[in-house]
Copies of this chain bind each other. A is one copy, B any other.
């Protein structure tokens, strides 16, 4: 048995810095110990899945093929068998987004029990973003140097003032639970966050995406970097299939638009080879592609 946390890539402390004072640390994972003949935690996904498919069935070639199949067909339960525990330090406004992922376990620093440490997030130079007009929730481009300088100073000032008042009120004897209400949303908090791989991939779908707030994306990307060496085949499949990554979701209307165009412009003898030309060795994926190609108007 090998300890996953001490194999090669994790020899150094598996931790990633985020923003100006934050971090994500991978505290633990399950399975933690893997058999000597396995290279990654992926094996435990296949092991659980094979419980369902064991007897009287055609052998499914290998673990990697099985994992790709499970992910393509949304057989999500085997991915729930893998669990990760993180220790994170993050601004409250980021924490408020991440907590919307409900299927996770959480222990957060409590401002009722503890005095909040004086640490707050200031965007770094060159990262003060302009409100996008077309994308109501997003940003586009960056403010000019001068405005940035002024805004940055404002944020620093108001954050420090808020903390000053917070501490002053604590000194006055005001209870912590009331004193904290003046702290700004960029105050850092910390928590233990435990989540299974299935729910984590859904989190990464949403939060690594370009529509996610950049600050939150930094945490999602750190998490992705930390787990990739632990479940490499799962992450490869996710990168290939998720419509938030390399995959694409077509609507009924889009399927029809492509098909119409093919029918209008293509000579059917030219389409033929394409059905074989998908660059995976996996037979099942090739077969599924052919079915889609037919729906898209390719010659079968």
Contact = CB atoms under 8 A, between A and B. Distances in A.
Interface of A is mostly: mixed
Contact of A274 (B53, B177, B257): B257
A34 to B, nearest CB: 10
B285 A253 contact: yes
A96 B254 CA distance: 37
A57 B129 CA distance: 17
A227 interface: no
A228 interface: no
Q: How large is the interface on A (under 10, 10 to 19, 20 to 34, 35 or more residues)?
A: 35 or more
Contacts of A5: 33
Interface of A: 1, 3, 5, 28-33, 44, 47-49, 51-58, 72-74, 77-78, 80-81, 83, 85, 87, 91-93, 96, 99-100, 102-103, 105-115, 117, 121, 123, 128-132, 136-139, 143, 147, 150-151, 154-155, 158-159, 161-162, 165, 168-170, 172-178, 180-186, 190-192, 194, 196, 205-206, 211, 213, 239-241, 243, 245-258, 260-261, 265-266, 270-271, 274, 277-280, 285, 289, 292, 295-296
9 A-B pairs with the lowest CB-CB distances in the bound complex, closest first: A246-B252, A56-B115, A139-B175, A80-B105, A32-B32, A30-B30, A181-B186, A55-B114, A48-B107
